[in-house]
Every structure is written in structure tokens, then in C-alpha cells.
Structure 1
Amino acid sequence: MDSPDEVERMITEWRAGVAEQAERFDAARRAIDEVSVTETAAGGAIVLTVASSGIPTDLRLGDGVDRMKPDQVAAQIMACLRRAQTRLADRVGSVVVDTIGDAAGGQAIAEEYRHRFPPLPGEDDHRPPLVENADFGLSDLAPDPTPPATVPAAAPVRATRRTPADDDEDWDAPLW
């Protein structure tokens, strides 16, 4: 059986360990709060930044987007967002290892980010290959292989001709 002095020493060491671990977790929380990731698309015409929550905090559209179709711009923004969030999970994992180490709680934080923002399927370096896009030059978005659907022309509207008598019939009506 341990002596009272040994028990008190073990409790003191345990308290010190818990306090140290709490300080490391607090430092990790502060460091994670400071993490942001910026990604670009369309040759730099689109720049998107996400905060540590994965929520976009900044979106800048350069001059090049005016030569892109709206659906291409939207697809580029969404792809940029997904790449930024994937990199965010990697960055948070690094912060956790640097501040907490291999503690189970730190691994759980990093795993939660990897679960929320998983790696993109089929991408080794988190970037799609550049392809030639005739509408914009080099872009991250492959050209659409199907032409846009054409909208059928509307039937012509027959105009009715008003007579001067038609104009006078509302003249005496109240305005409201």
C-alpha cells in the first residue's frame, strides 16, 4: 500500500499533468482559431479564403471571370471551396500535432476535421489538372462536352391597336 506522502505526490503529479494538458488544448484552440486557407481557381481569377470553421470569409473575383459562363464561375468557386476545406483539415491536423502531440483528444480533433472536410476523390495534390478551355484559356474547369440547350422561340404576340376613343374612356376615373 502506498504511503500518504506517495499518494499526495501522485495526486500533485496528476494535477500538474492535467493542468499542462489543459494549457496545450487551450493553445491548440487558439492556434486553430487563427488558421485560414486561401485557394485560387481559373488562373487566379477566383480567390477564396476559408476560416478555421471551413466557412468562406473572403471571395475575390478578378477580371478573368467576365469571360466565363456563370455556371463555370459557380463550379470554379465550389471546387475552390472544397480544395480550401481539404487543405484546412490538413492544416488543423498539423496544428494539433504541434500543440497537443499524439494525445487521444488531439487525434479526435484532427479526425473530426478530416471527417468534415475529407480529401477530394482521385486527387493526389488537391488540385485538378489544368485543361485548355477555349472560352478562357487555361482553367481548372474542363470544357462542357454538351452544347447548351436552346430555348424554343416564343410565339409572336399580336399587338392590339388602341383607338383615340379608348384613350379617353379612363380619363374621368379616379387615380386611386
Structure 2
Amino acid sequence: MLGQDPDAAQEMLNSWTAELSARAQAAADLSERVAVLAASATSADGVVRVTVAASGALTDLRLDDRVQRMRGSELASIIMATVARAQAGLTDQVMVAVHDTVGTDSETGRAITDTFARRFPKPADEQPERWERDTRSGW
């Protein structure tokens, strides 16, 4: 029993403390990586390009001059669909960050990936490789 061996008890406590410290550092690393994520997407016809931050907020919008010949409702629909694709790209990037830090099988990892998957689901017509990682994210 551990109570009878002070050295074994101290070793167990040290191991437990080191494990908790490593988990905390991995969670901090994940938080830092997620905070700087950004994803971009371009519409199928190339007239709209958007970039979103880790929060999903639109940070850049580029419109080709061809949009001048489009109806407002058509352009709005294209912009919204392109934003949704970029946001779905965040979910893919978060999955990579989780894998590299806390692990996809950890409770933290599952909670983070599930949250992003619910907030930013892949559009029904989305092809798996439609999103692009923004090079400003640093990894």
C-alpha cells in the first residue's frame, strides 16, 4: 500500500503533477494555435474570395469586377456560401491543432472539435479539399 512506502507515494505524486502540468501546457498550446487560425475560400466561379478569423468572423472580402453584372441576391448568396466554406475550413484546421496538442481522443480535444463542427459544419455540397489554410496562421 502507498501509505506504507513514502518514496512510492512521493514518486506517484510527482508523476501525477508532471502529467497535469503537461496536459495544461498542451491545452495552452492548443489555445494559442486556435487563436491565430484563419481560413480562406473562393467561390466556384472565382468572383468572391473571403477570409475568416478563428471566431468565424469575416476579415477579408475580395470581389472580382464581374460582380457588377450580378443581381444583388445572387451575389449575397455566393458570398454567404463562400463564407460558410471558409468557416468549415476552420473546423479542419482545429482538428489538426487538437491532434498535434491535446490529442483527438482526449476529453478536451473532443469538446473543442465538436464545438467547431457544430458552429461551422461543412456545407452539404462541399468537397473535402475546398478550403485553404491561410498562410498567416503560421503553421
Q: TM-score range by the shorter chain?
A: 0.7 to 0.9
Q: C-alpha separation between the residues in 1 aligned to 2:57 and 2:92?
A: 16
Task: Pick the aligned partner of 2:128 from 119, 125, 128.
Answer: 125
* 1:47 to 1:124, Cα distance in 2 relative to 1, 3 A: closer
Q: Deviations over 1:45-66 (max 9, x none)?
A: 2111111111111111121111
Gaps of 5+ in 2: 131-139
SS of structure 2 residue aligned to 1:44? coil
Determine which structure has greater relative contact order: mean sequence separation of CA pairs < 8 Å that are 6+ residues apart, divided by chain length. Answer: 2
Deviations 1:59-92 (A, max 9, x none): 1112111111111110000000111111111111
Q: Within the alignment, does 1:68 sit opposite 2:70 as a pair?
A: yes
Extract unaligned runs of 5+ from structure 1. Answer: 128-176
TM-score, with length taken from structure 2: 0.84
Name the amino acid aligned to 2:36: E
Larger of the two Rg values belongs to structure: 1
Question: Kindly, what percent of the aligned residue pairs are identical?
Answer: 37
1:25 aligns with 27
Residue in 2 that maps onto 1:56: 58
- TM-score, with structure 1 as normaliser: 0.67
- Structure 1 position 43, deviation (Å): 2.5
Distance 2:97 2:63 in 1: 30
Q: Give matches, 1:149-168, under 5 Å.
A: none
Dislocated runs of 4+, deviation >4 Å? none
Give the equivalent residue in structure 1 for 2:36. Answer: 34
Q: 1:118 and 1:42, CA in 2 relative to 1: closer, same or farther beyond 3 A?
A: closer
Residue 110 of structure 2 is matched in structure 1 by 107
Which is helix-richer, 1 or 2?
Answer: 2
**Distance in 2 (alpha carbons) for counterparts of 1:16 and 1:125:** 39
The residue type equivalent to 2:86 in the other structure is A
